[in-house]
Amino acid sequence: MIRIAIKSLSQRGILQKLTISILLMAIIPLVLIIYLLRTEVGEVLLKNNVKVTMFFMICSICTGYILSRKIIVSVVRLARDMQGITHGNLSKRIKTSENDEVDMLARYFNQMTSELEKNIEDLKESKRVIQDVLLRINSAMGSDKKIDSVLELTLETLSQALNASSGTIMVSKEDKIKIMVSCGAISGIRRDISLKEEKSIIVKAYKEQKTQNVSKAGGAERLVFEKEAGFAYKSILCAPLMCKGKVLGVISLHDKKNWDNFSEDDVILIENLASQTAIAIENSRLNQHIERTYVETISTLALAVEAKDPYTRGHTKRVTNFVLRLAEEFSLDKDAKDMLKNAALLHDIGKIGIKDEILLKPGALTTEKRKHMQLHPIIGENILKPIHSLNKIAYLVRHHHERVDGEGYPGKLTKEYISLPLKILTVADAYDAMTSDRPYRKAMTKDEACQELKKCSGTYFDSKVVDVFLKIL
């Protein structure tokens, strides 16, 4: 009977449960006793059988207790489960089996927890994307990569993170804004846009120095102007590249792949990256300017050194011509050619630190003076080392007197540690030195110098480079 009563009560509200419990616990036994007391039966029962009355009362109290306990247990369980969830176990859910207010509360709480869990997952994903983007871009900005490669990586990473179909980084030049790098589906993208183009969103972002987030619905007319005729974006997000209060250009992303519009989160991310990108562009411009000035200065110094020594006048220019022809024969890329050209121009810059009495001394040098003279590659390296981007040239300058058999100076590097550009530089330098007058000897003829190169092939010089050099002479 008690079980049936509990089961039927489980479908009722908590207030009803409580009322019924109190009725069962107190009011019903009380009414029963009062009723019995007014009847003859009651008098008899009370007089002769108090145990029966007591039995009824105890039964009522027990039933009331069981029902009240059931309510309290479900509240306690709810509180305990809620505590578990609020302590971080968001995957946990509160069990529901009944149909009262406590159960309803549990279901609402489960629903809220599910939504919270989803939001947290979304936030974690956004955080992961942002961290990934920043990590890749920071590592690119801290590397030796050229600015174009850094910007390409920045744009590609941002484009992937925001699920955009394409993107551009454009910088202003004269009265236009021109593409510096681009990524993705770029068919029809205009390579440059006039700053007078009032309807362009990119120009608007540049001129107003404000991020623009425009979708087809919000600015269909404007979206046409970023592309050549016949093409148009469905959505575009662009931010100005601001550095020290100056606008350098615009970074833009176009057409989300799932056809959504760009979100507020996307705006925050692009704005953060725009300022980093602008700083990178500005720093690169400043570095290029400093490096250009530095190279020009030391090139002038190199010429001054040559001018001081009549025997080496024109030496660097001739060596430069030889290395460039050899670089062509070995199909070296543009970067390697530029590096070799600068190394050839600057390889003897260290002679600026050699005393005139040694540099210009007629006749053979004593061992001590020769050792002093042999310091010029190291002095040269030290002159170039302060500029980070000249490190590779500094390396060539340091080792331009190495020999493939390991008997050169200053590093005594053997063949396997000597790079191809360095092998090219040593052959070109040695040939020009042999065919020039020196204070201690007359210049060799071309044939004599070629014979000398052949004789020293495989010991002083790399045999492959010597072979190619003899062919192009």
What is the contact surface with Fe ion in residues (CB under 5 A)?
348, 429
- Kindly tell me which of 141 and 434 has the beta carbon lying closer to Fe ion: 434
- Kindly tell me which of 189 and 344 has the beta carbon lying closer to Fe ion: 344
- Kindly tell me which of 122 and 407 has the beta carbon lying closer to Fe ion: 407
According to DSSP H, which parts of 309-408 are helical?
Answer: 315-329, 334-346, 356-359, 367-373, 376-384, 391-398
Q: How far is CA 212 from CA 49, 161, 239, 266, in A?
A: 92, 18, 6, 11
- Kindly tell me which of 81 and 429 has the beta carbon lying closer to Fe ion: 429
Token readout for 454 is 């052949």
Least CB distance to Fe ion at residue 402 (A) = 11
Cis peptide before 386 (omega within 30 of 0): no
- Kindly tell me which of 103 and 306 has the beta carbon lying closer to Fe ion: 306
Least CB distance to Fe ion at residue 427 (A) = 12
Q: How far is CA 343 from CA 141, 351, 415, 426, in A?
A: 26, 14, 19, 11
For residue 450, the one-letter residue type is C
Q: Residue with structure tokens 């050169």? A: 408
Least CB distance to Fe ion at residue 466 (A) = 17
Look up residue 249 and give its DSSP letter: E
* H or E segment to which residue 169 belongs: strand 164-173
- Kindly tell me which of 13 and 410 has the beta carbon lying closer to Fe ion: 410
d(CA 434, CA 386): 32
Least CB distance to Fe ion at residue 350 (A) = 8
Give DSSP secondary structure letters for 404-461: TBS--SSS--BGGGS-HHHHHHHHHHHHHHHTS-BTTBPPPPHHHHHHHHHHTBTTTB
Among 293, 295, 292, 349, which Cα is nearest to 319's?
349
164 Rama class: left (phi>0) / alpha (psi -120 to 50) / beta: beta
Token readout for 88 is 């971080």
- Kindly tell me which of 255 and 429 has the beta carbon lying closer to Fe ion: 429
- Kindly tell me which of 6 and 433 has the beta carbon lying closer to Fe ion: 433
Cα angle at 452 between 448 and 453, to 5 degrees? 120
Least CB distance to Fe ion at residue 315 (A) = 6
- Please say whether the beta carbons of 177 and 202 come within 8 A: yes
Least CB distance to Fe ion at residue 431 (A) = 10
Least CB distance to Fe ion at residue 378 (A) = 11
Least CB distance to Fe ion at residue 433 (A) = 6
Least CB distance to Fe ion at residue 344 (A) = 9
- Kindly tell me which of 243 and 326 has the beta carbon lying closer to Fe ion: 326
Among 335, 324, 386, 336, which Cα is nearest to 149's?
335
